[in-house]
Amino acid sequence: MKVGFIGLGIMGGPMARHLHKAGFLAAVYNRTRAKAEPFGKLGVYVAESPADLAKRVDVVIEMVSDAPDVEQVLFGPGGVVEGARPGLVVVDMSTNSPDWARNFAERLAARGIDFLDAPVTGGQKGAEEGTLTVMVGGREDLFQRLLPVFKAFAKEVIYAGPVGYGQAMKLVNQVVIALNTIAMVEGLRLAEALGLDIDKVARLLTVGAARSGSIELYLPKLLKGDLSPGFKAAHLKKDLAYAMEIANRKSLSLPASALALELYKKMVEKGLGELGIHALGKAY
């Protein structure tokens, strides 16, 4: 199975390297060619466009920022569909929404192209260590066929259901991560105001009942003053906006999620969107 990878950023670059180690990676493409050139030195074909990449592979994985970027990669000038043949599988591993996933799937199906929505969680650390969790929506036979590909960079791979269910599950995950991050930031602010030893508080938050995966991941960086993004605040704001759009459409009250969206909007408005999600305290 020949895999092509589009989008070699914070997450995509490490994921593509794991695919290369597993023997799947046949081609890469990135808008900034400099990020693709190290793969060329490894013998991987560096494509001139998504269409050029699609001609050479059985599976196209794209890992870009948002739905408009996915649309451009797939259907824009020089996009995947221009180089695709019937039977190609497109896997969208970015985070957007169930509506977009179904939209992409329908448009690709009209051209004989299969589609899976397969967003990931685990951040930069998970991408580098090959321990991501993948949530997959689409036909189950396609999921089973691509399972070895996913396992090249993931510790857990969950079949969520039909097209769109991968994105739906990811939005649930993002709401919980956002609220965990708010809890961590506000807890630390209270601890500082009370004059507590922050290292001891950190120990409590990583061994007691309040612990969570996101706290264990981001608290050490926060204590070191490292606000660099394992996952950008602007991207979490985008994900929360998708979640709240669905909640509003369904008349579902999610007051804490609405608060999280407003806080991350403030981060972006203050020019802090390129920092990690754990830098939320900067917005207070």
Structural domains in the chain, sorted by start = 3-162 (3.40.50.720), 168-283 (1.10.1040.10)
Q: How many whole angstroms separate alpha carbon 155 and alpha carbon 159?
A: 13
Query: What pLDDT, on a 0 to 100 scale, did the predictor assign at position 164?
Result: 98
pLDDT at res. 4: 98
User: CA 194, CA 270: separation in Å to the nearest integer?
Assistant: 28
**Residue 214, pLDDT score:** 87
- Residue 170 annotated among the catalytic residues of the structure: yes
Quote the tokens at residue 81: 């569909």
For residue 85, which phi and psi values (nearest 5 degrees)? -120, 155
What CA–CA distance (Å, rounded) separates 174 from 166? 12
pLDDT score of 284: 86
Q: What are phi and psi of 43, to 5 degrees?
A: 95, 10
Q: Of 21, 41, 125, 170, which residue is the catalytic one?
A: 170
Phi, psi of 79 (to 5 degrees): -75, 175
Q: Which two tokens stand for residue 32?
A: 């900034």
Q: Coil, strand or helix: which one is 228?
A: coil
Q: What is the predicted pLDDT for the residue at 59?
A: 98
pLDDT (0 to 100) of residue 107 = 98
- Angle 158-105-145 (CA atoms, 0-180°, nearest 5)? 45
**pLDDT tens-digit profile, the chain (284 residues):** 999 999 999 999 999 999 999 999 999 999 999 999 999 999 999 999 999 999 999 999 999 999 999 999 999 999 999 999 999 999 999 999 999 999 999 999 999 999 999 999 999 999 999 999 999 999 999 999 999 999 999 999 999 999 999 999 999 999 999 999 999 999 999 999 999 999 999 999 999 999 998 899 999 999 999 999 989 999 999 999 999 999 999 999 999 999 999 999 999 999 999 999 999 999 88
CA distance 182 to 259: 10
CA nearest to 54, candidates 80, 87, 19, 93: 80
Tell me if 261 sits within 8 A of 237, measured CB to CB: yes
